[in-house]
Structure 1
Amino acid sequence: MLDQKLLTFIKVVECKNYTKAAEALNLTQPAVSQHMKKLEAYYGTRLIEMKGKAINLTDQGKMVYNYVQVQRSNEHHLKNKLNQIAAPMRIGATLSIADYYLPKYLNDYLQKGHDNIAVSVNNTKRIIQLLLDDELDCAFIEGIFDKDMFSHHAFTQTDFKAVVSPGHPLLQKEASVTDLYQYPLLIREKGSGTRKIFEQYLTQQNDSLLSFKEIHEIGSFMLLKSILRNSQAVSFMYEKVVEDEVISSNLAYLSLKDVRLTRPLFFIYPKHSLKSTWIQDFYAQFIPESAK
């Protein structure tokens, strides 16, 4: 870290005026003058000379100024190096978001050379616990969380849809949720935000998962979609999770009568975190206003 007297010297040279330098450094003018006198006493030579009201560097002053500029550049380089090995931002993400929503933001973020990050993927329940245990700094989740405990931003909105194979019998009729009950349901494991949202919807209809003929828990979206393609099962997923398969006609969205589920996806972090400013800066860089 550069000595304060050297920083004062730089500012005097840049401002070419003691008063302006004092204002820029939030010092009094006598303090600036004192710094300059001590610096010249240390080097044993005059560094600046006055010609009228103009401040000019002596030859010795030019040498000191060039030296300080090199040192300032070296310090900036050192800080950048230290930031590269500093503890990364620890980010949690649910499976849906990590695989289907984060990549476009993450690619842009990394290409711009921002701070290091470490991304952990888990279900909503586990991620929230990791946040509370200070094992994560922030997270991108789609599930339900306590808004009294976490600061949050909705970074996008997405539709939550019923998905079936392209040859499913229900595609030939105007189906309702109760029509689904005679078919197997493929659903994520307990603790998944996707599962919790669907369970909450059923509860609001005075119903539950028990109404389905069969229930199969599948923790992998790739496996889940593969089973859907080759069966008459039904599942519920965010639109982007199955977008490619629908475009290629390997799966299909099932429009349900009087059902439209649109959900926000959230960025969250513990309220009153000591890292709040750092986390907020990260979010602004990771998902800029132009990307929302």
Structure 2
Amino acid sequence: MDIRLSTFLEVLATGNYTRAAENLHITQPAVTKHMRSLEEEFGAVFFRYDGKKMVPTDEARVLENYARSQQKNYRDTLDAFKREKARTIRIGLTKTLGEYAYAQKLAALVNDRPNNFVLTVDNTEALLDRLRNARLDFLMVEGQFAKNEFDFSVLKEETFTGICSADHPYKGHSLSLEAVSGDCLVVREPGSGSREIFEDKLRYKGYEVQDFKRLVTSSSLALISKLVAANVGISFGYESIAKNNPHLATFHVEGITDRHEFSLVALKGTGGIELYRRLIEGAEEL
């Protein structure tokens, strides 16, 4: 990979020539030389200063997409020369998909193949960061993302709704947000796709998560399910979480319950979407 692009990505990440030089183990004049060379070649300015702060320009974001795809393709090519017999495929999944909504199909995806697989389950924000840094081949997410930044395709749709214990009075009912806001809310951590969706819907109705009686936050969907089943509080998420759990049930809330997309996401120009499709089709060579 062009060393200048590596330097550009490090400057973009650190917002500082000195720290970029330290991280890359090169001199600061070398960083300056690489950046000037890129700007001369592309005829663009990639950073401007707002006081002492470096701010990337629109041109920098265009170059970033290109540099990320080059970084990913370089690593894939490097792996190809080092590989034993088959490519290692790295897939990122948000917790709803990895642990509930897509678990069965995921098993079929990785079963009886010569490939090694690395499956990373995390929140949407963390996965997108790993994808940008070419640490994953593609993602399956339920959260929002910058669609102009990535290649993407819709996997499926599922209902986002209220979740309660199987013996809760809310079970199977349609309620107003005002009626349920006096309950304890058990919710995912900031940065998760489902938390972001829920907060967006609350804001539209003039609410925040803090408006509930109490707030219990956890990064574990399994723990959230157990707390809700034990009547610690109610939660909001996808129907698949409650579907195969006899201790959980769902309820509808006006302005919250809705259909949402699960998306397949990859870096632009890296072939991640095509890789997924070939896996689904059972292609022998990847």
TM bucket, shorter chain:
0.5 to 0.7
Instruction: Give the count of matched residue pairs.
Output: 203
Instruction: State the SS of the aligned residue for 1:254.
Output: strand
The answer to whether structure 1 residue 233 and structure 2 residue 233 are counterparts is yes
The change in CA–CA distance for 1:106 and 1:229 in structure 2 (over 3 A counts) is closer
The change in CA–CA distance for 1:200 and 1:83 in structure 2 (over 3 A counts) is same
Instruction: State the SS of the aligned residue for 1:255.
Output: strand
Q: Is the 8 A contact 1:165 1:232 kept in 2?
A: no
Instruction: State the SS of the aligned residue for 2:146.
Output: coil
Unaligned stretches of 5+ residues in structure 1: 1-81
Structure (1 or 2) with the greater helix fraction? 1
Instruction: State the SS of the aligned residue for 1:225.
Output: helix
Written as runs of structure 1 = structure 2, the 5 A alignment for 1:224-263 is 224-231=224-231, 233-245=233-245, 248=246, 250-257=247-254, 259-263=256-260
Q: Which moved more, 1:255-264 or 1:134-143?
A: 255-264
The change in CA–CA distance for 1:110 and 1:231 in structure 2 (over 3 A counts) is closer
- In the alignment, which residue of structure 1 is the partner of 2:212? 212
Q: What is the CA–CA distance in structure 1 between the aligned matches of 2:225 and 2:91, rounded to whole Å? A: 27
Instruction: State the SS of the aligned residue for 2:244.
Output: helix
The answer to whether structure 1 residue 283 and structure 2 residue 280 are counterparts is no
Q: Is the 8 A contact 1:152 1:267 kept in 2?
A: yes
TM-score, normalisation: structure 1: 0.63
Q: What is the CA–CA distance in structure 2 between the aligned matches of 1:229 and 1:149, rounded to whole Å? A: 39
Query: Which one-letter code corresponds to 1:281 in the other structure?
Result: E
The change in CA–CA distance for 1:272 and 1:285 in structure 2 (over 3 A counts) is closer
Q: Is the 8 A contact 1:186 1:224 kept in 2?
A: yes
Q: Percent identity among equivalent residues?
A: 24
RMSD: 2.6
Q: What is the CA–CA distance in structure 1 between the aligned matches of 2:107 and 2:171, rounded to whole Å? A: 37
Instruction: State the SS of the aligned residue for 2:273.
Output: helix
Q: What is the CA–CA distance in structure 2 between the aligned matches of 1:210 and 1:135, rounded to whole Å? A: 35
The change in CA–CA distance for 1:108 and 1:127 in structure 2 (over 3 A counts) is same
The answer to whether structure 1 residue 267 and structure 2 residue 276 are counterparts is no
How far does the alpha carbon of each residue in 1:77-120 deviate from its partner, in whole angstroms, 9 at most, with x for none?
xxxxx865454122111111111233322332333525332111
Query: Which one-letter code corresponds to 2:260 in the other structure?
Result: R
Deviation, 1:125, is: 0.4
Q: Which moved more, 1:236-245 or 1:181-190?
A: 236-245
- In the alignment, which residue of structure 2 is the partner of 1:163? 163
TM-score, normalisation: structure 2: 0.64
